[in-house]
Structures are given as structure tokens and as C-alpha cells.
Chains A and B, each alone.
Chain A
């Protein structure tokens, strides 16, 4: 060790610090694409058709997500909500909780944002910000309920966040078809938000929401790793009992993490409304909240790593449409790909087994551990 030059040490640390941690996520994505290809070929009417579909489909995905005019911009448009909902999964993970409710929180945020966008009369600049806060509040409420139930009654957040999703779907569906239905259009949707509440679009569907998102991701990173609050939250996740002895109240941390998570997912819903849809329809269920689980895990729950992870999932989502258009394949293929990515990232031992990788010491390893039903 003493004989190694500083230069060697540096290059080694680059390999250790950057390449090693990237190996598993990248191989996870690659292996998933291979398995997806096998499924496409072997479930086709015959192998020749399968190969044809595979070529057209995968090339279409790539072209659609990156190359085509507006392709990359469209990918960025869906990356934005995936970053926020990814954070909404990551923060509770750090506190030792599993939030499967980002989808419902997203929908509630979109809904409260629409209400603020329709009924408040405010000047430009102020109005969009107030609408974002409204979206945050709507989502936060949807996180608060399972948070309180978990903290004070011990009811498991996995069950409750899933149930809150179903309740959000039903509630918003009722609101859209009932009291807030816009009678002036033929489609089932709410009144549109006022012009003052909209976010500026730069090109096509690409709106400035992603800049808000990037800012938020940085703030969350700072919060988790550089503040006492973040430290308390992470300590609770590592060991609630130790946290208790250190004077941290795990219950408060449980509630806080789910409220923040809900708020961020709600903000994602709000940005979606302000930048893209301007209304809420019964088809608001975009699935971002479920994809978010994969995004968060792919990023090993690191708020900054969530940005590229969300971009990969965003590219898959946009590319998925081209699977359908180019090759007549179902967009459901994308779910299969995401499932395998999630699997390989959560179980790095499988990837290492497949590729005979050595276990790397000291690298932050894999997914966090949820605590079954006990904890």
C-alpha cells in the first residue's frame, strides 16, 4: 500500500467509486432488455414474426425515445414526474418505510392543483406557485393518513398506501364525473385551470416543470445528507431503537417521511396538470407512482442518482409507445422490462451470479431492507 503512488490511488478510487457501483444497474438494464427480447420472440405467432417484431420494436423504442424529433424532449417530459415520484419512494425508504402509494398521492395532487388552478384568481408567477403548493398539500394529505396509521396504530404502510391508491382513483373519478365535470366538452374532464396558473411550454410538450423538479431533487439531497432532520430520518430507517436512544422520535420520522413523500408525488401531479393537461380526466392514472419504485431502487435511493434512473424509465415509457406503433407489440412489454430491471437491482446477487462479478467491498449495496410485517 505504501508503495502505491498517489496517481494509482486516485485511478483506483475512480474505478471503485464510479465504475463498480454502475456495473450492477447497467447490467440490470442490459439483462432485462435481453430477457424482454426472448419473451417477444418466443411469445410471437412464429419465431420469424417474433424476430421481425423485435427488431422493429426495439429500434422503434430507441428512435422514439432519443432520436426522433422531440423524442428526447418527450422523454424529459415524463422524466420529470418520475423523478418526483421516485423521490416520494426514496424518502420513506430512508426512514425504513415502503411507499407504494405514490400513484394515489400523484392523483390527489393533480386534483387539488386543478381546484386551485380553477378557483383562485391570482396574478401570473404567484398563481403557478400557489397551485404547486396546493398539489403538494393534496399529495401530502394522502401521505399523512398512512403515516399516522403506521406511527400510532402500527398499521402497515404497504397495505394502507395501496388502499389509499384505490380510494384516490375512486374519489377523483367521482369528482371528475360529478361536481367538477366540464359540460362544455364531450370528454370526461374537469374545467381547465386558468391561463395564469399554467406553466410555460418551451417546445412542443416540453414545459419548465423539469427545472422545478431538478431543484427539488437537489434540495431533497441536501435535506437527507446535510441536515440534522435528514440524519434523524435516516437513523430511524437504519435502526428505530437506536434512533430512540439518540433522542429521535421514530414516529415523527415515519409521519414526516410519508408527508414529504406524498407532497412530492402531489407536486408531480400538479406540474403535470400545469404544464401538460390543464385538466384532470378519469384517465389521470399514468402509472408514474408504480414506476417510481423501480426508479428509486435503480438509483439505490440516492436523490441525485434518481435523475438518470428516471430518465431511463422515461425513455422506456416513451419508447414503449413506439413498440406499439412500429411493431404492433403491447406497451405492456415495458412493464416486463421494468419488472426485470427492478428485480436485478434489488437482487444484485443475481446479476453477480449471471456475470460472475466479484463482490465489491465497501460499495453501498443494493436495495434497502423493508421489515416484513413486523418492524
Chain B
């Protein structure tokens, strides 16, 4: 392994950490306001499909992004209504969303996303190297030669940290997730806060899904999320429900992924399956060594007195 290889691995780390990080921010908005979200996988999958579908038929990546984010927000809204209005078990509601997304995307794929009807992919977002910064040795290539969603993810990490800890919105969100009764007493609308944050989370999960179909692969495949939504959840838990923690965990998973890609090309003797297993084994180890401290009211429906 030489210097170029290390740069390559780290650049790939940041890129493949993107959907994991965005997915965990999706979970963060939902869970910090008190709604468990194992539906990130389904929301991502839905957005990946709708992004590919709309961008294909309009031949516009822009409309693909809009449609993808809206469709994921729709799924999040369903999760929110079922969890908040109908007080259903939130983990089961999440499973429903995941199953629904798998079924619906598969159904639409078979009718509209295969020949002869399929007009063809609208391509992927171009790489946008940032002037000057990209010329910094080593770091320039790793951080500043990426496609747009990667940058968006990095910026969002700081924005979400600020919103969560330094704005009234963030304070309300945390209050509702920790102690909804107290928040209610102070005049915070618990239901509105939860609905709003779950749906914002859905849009972020949508962006993660769009990364898959419009930035990474360029088309939609059945079940293309491949468990990334669940890994995002593990990153959120490992990062103890904070943006920087989740970002760090996502980088760890990105690294595992990048090393896998690298090793597979350079040392083909190692069976691919063992390398593919790495992120999953890592998730289990990570979940075992750090006891989670979840928001106190997460998973509990709120019943107004």
C-alpha cells in the first residue's frame, strides 16, 4: 500500500460514509424528538427509486432530487401519523414502512424502470472539485473532490449540531424527546414538534437515498440500500444521538467499506463475502462496547392529559 492508495481509500471513505451519515441524521431528528426510527432503510429506498424514476422521465436530476426527498418525507409522514396519532408501537411502524417501501419500489421498478418503457438514466451528479481547496496536498483529494451530496452532508453536520444545541427549535426537540410532559407544561406543542422533526428526518433520509441512485450508481436497483439504513441507525446509536458522534461513526463504516473495495481489487484471494461481512460485524462490536444513552422518552407515545 502506497500513499496514493491511502488517499484513494480515504476519499472513498468520505463518499461511502455519506448515506450512512445522512441516514443517521434522519434518525437523529426523529429520535431526539421521541420517535424511534428503524424506517430509515425504507425511506432511503423509496427516495432512491423515486429519484431515479422522476429524473429518468424528466431527464432532470433536479426534479429527481425533489421527488426523492418528497417521497421519503411522505413515508416519514406515514410513520409519524401511525406512531403519534395512532400510538402504534414505533418499531413495528418502522418495519411496516420498510416492507412497504420494498414492495412499492419493486412494483414500480418492474412496470416503469425497465425497458422498453424506461427512457434511460439521467446520469449522476458531476464531481465538483472546490477551487484552491482541492489543491491542498493529501486533504484536498480526500475532502474537496467530491460530488455535491457529499459536501451537503459535511455542511449539514455542522448545521444540525448548531440547530440541535443552540436554537429554540433544537431545545424544543430535545425537551419533547426527554420529557414531553414538562415540555407540554411549558407550552411546547409536543405533537407538532414530533411531526415536524420526523418529516424533516424523512427528507434527510431521502437525500441519503438519492445519493445511492443519483450520485453513486446512476440508476435504481431492487433493494439497492442493502441495509445502509440499519447501519445508519447503528451509527446514530454509536454516536450517542449527536451529529458529530454519528458523523464519526459513519466515517468508521465508510472506512470499513472502502477497505473492503480496496482489498477486493488488490487481494482477490480473500473471499469477498468475508469483506462484505466487515461493516456488519463492526456494527455488532460497536453496539456491544458502547452502552447507548437514548433520549429518555424515545419510543413512548405521548398522551396529552
Interface residues of A (CB under 8 A from B): 39, 43-45, 98, 100, 145, 149, 153-156, 158-160, 162-164, 166-167, 170-171, 173-174, 177-178, 290, 293-294, 297, 329-340, 342-343, 346-347, 349-350, 353, 367-374
B92 and A367: CB pair below 8 A? yes
Within 8 A of A (CB), among B93-120: 93, 95-97, 99-100, 102-111
Given known pairs A159-B233, A171-B273, A346-B89, the reply for A290 and B99 (CB within 8 Å) is yes
Interface residues of B (CB under 8 A from A): 31, 36, 38, 82, 86-93, 95-97, 99-100, 102-111, 227, 230, 233-234, 237, 271, 273-274, 276-277, 280-281, 283-284, 287-289, 291-292, 294, 296, 298-300
**Bound-complex Cα distance A83 to B90 (A):** 25
Among B86, B89, B92, contact of A350 (Cβ-Cβ < 8 Å):
B86
Min distance, Cβ B267 to any Cβ of chain A, angstroms = 16
**Bound-complex Cα distance A39 to B100 (A):** 12
Given known pairs A163-B280, A342-B96, A350-B82, the reply for A374 and B111 (CB within 8 Å) is no
A residues less than 8 Å from B289 (CB atoms)? 153
Given known pairs A163-B284, A332-B102, the reply for A293 and B110 (CB within 8 Å) is no
B residues less than 8 Å from A329 (CB atoms)? 107, 110
24 intermolecular pairs with C-beta atoms under 8 Å apart? A39-B107, A43-B111, A153-B288, A159-B234, A159-B283, A163-B230, A163-B284, A166-B227, A167-B281, A293-B92, A297-B92, A329-B110, A332-B106, A336-B99, A336-B103, A339-B97, A339-B99, A342-B92, A346-B88, A349-B86, A370-B92, A372-B36, A373-B31, A373-B299
B residues less than 8 Å from A370 (CB atoms)? 89-92, 299
B residues less than 8 Å from A336 (CB atoms)? 99-100, 103-104, 107
Given known pairs A158-B38, A330-B110, the reply for A339 and B100 (CB within 8 Å) is yes
Min distance, Cβ A21 to any Cβ of chain B, angstroms = 18
A166 and B96: CB pair below 8 A? no
Majority secondary structure of chain B interface residues (helix, strand, loop or mixed): helix
Extra pairs beyond A330-B106, A336-B107 (5, CB < 8 Å): A154-B292, A159-B284, A174-B271, A373-B31, A373-B294
A residues less than 8 Å from B89 (CB atoms)? 346, 367-370
A343 and B287: CB pair below 8 A? no
Nearest residue in B to A370 (C-beta to C-beta)? B91
Given known pairs A156-B292, A347-B86, A367-B89, the reply for A372 and B300 (CB within 8 Å) is yes
B284 and A334: CB pair below 8 A? no
Min distance, Cβ B254 to any Cβ of chain A, angstroms = 17
Among A166, A178, A331, A339, contact of B277 (Cβ-Cβ < 8 Å):
A166
B88 and A149: CB pair below 8 A? no
Min distance, Cβ B304 to any Cβ of chain A, angstroms = 16
Min distance, Cβ B87 to any Cβ of chain A, angstroms = 7
Lowest 9 A-B CB distances belong to which pairs?
A: A372-B299, A335-B103, A332-B106, A174-B273, A336-B103, A339-B99, A347-B88, A373-B294, A339-B100
Most buried by B among A329, A336, A337, A343: A343
Given known pairs A45-B111, A159-B283, A342-B95, the reply for A170 and B294 (CB within 8 Å) is no
A373 and B103: CB pair below 8 A? no
Most buried by B among A43, A337, A346, A350: A346
Min distance, Cβ B44 to any Cβ of chain A, angstroms = 15
Q: A-B pairs with CB below 8 Å: how many?
A: 160
A residues less than 8 Å from B234 (CB atoms)? 159, 163
Given known pairs A159-B230, A374-B294, the reply for A349 and B87 (CB within 8 Å) is yes
**Bound-complex Cα distance A76 to B91 (A):** 30
A171 and B91: CB pair below 8 A? no
**Bound-complex Cα distance A171 to B230 (A):** 19
Nearest residue in A to B275 (C-beta to C-beta)? A170
**Bound-complex Cα distance A334 to B233 (A):** 27
A residues less than 8 Å from B227 (CB atoms)? 162, 166
**Bound-complex Cα distance A322 to B31 (A):** 41
B287 and A149: CB pair below 8 A? yes
A343 and B93: CB pair below 8 A? yes
B residues less than 8 Å from A98 (CB atoms)? 91
B108 and A43: CB pair below 8 A? yes
Nearest residue in B to A148 (C-beta to C-beta)? B288
Among A155, A167, A290, A349, contact of B280 (Cβ-Cβ < 8 Å):
A167
Among B82, B106, B277, B280, contact of A335 (Cβ-Cβ < 8 Å):
B106
Min distance, Cβ B261 to any Cβ of chain A, angstroms = 15
**Bound-complex Cα distance A332 to B87 (A):** 28
A173 and B273: CB pair below 8 A? yes
Among B102, B106, B277, contact of A167 (Cβ-Cβ < 8 Å):
B277
A residues less than 8 Å from B292 (CB atoms)? 154, 156, 373
**Bound-complex Cα distance A16 to B21 (A):** 50
A332 and B110: CB pair below 8 A? yes
Given known pairs A155-B288, A170-B273, the reply for A339 and B93 (CB within 8 Å) is no
Given known pairs A155-B287, A373-B292, the reply for A293 and B95 (CB within 8 Å) is yes
**Bound-complex Cα distance A164 to B234 (A):** 13
A346 and B107: CB pair below 8 A? no
**Bound-complex Cα distance A334 to B99 (A):** 10
Nearest residue in B to A291 (C-beta to C-beta)? B99
Given known pairs A155-B288, A160-B284, the reply for A43 and B299 (CB within 8 Å) is no
**Bound-complex Cα distance A297 to B109 (A):** 29
B residues less than 8 Å from A154 (CB atoms)? 291-292
**Bound-complex Cα distance A90 to B107 (A):** 30
Min distance, Cβ A152 to any Cβ of chain B, angstroms = 9
A372 and B92: CB pair below 8 A? no
A159 and B237: CB pair below 8 A? yes
A178 and B96: CB pair below 8 A? no
**Bound-complex Cα distance A337 to B102 (A):** 12
A residues less than 8 Å from B92 (CB atoms)? 293, 297, 342, 346, 367, 370
Most buried by B among A44, A45, A372: A372
Min distance, Cβ B253 to any Cβ of chain A, angstroms = 12
Among B107, B271, B288, contact of A332 (Cβ-Cβ < 8 Å):
B107
Nearest residue in B to A166 (C-beta to C-beta)? B280
**Bound-complex Cα distance A335 to B101 (A):** 9
Among B82, B105, B283, B299, contact of A374 (Cβ-Cβ < 8 Å):
B299
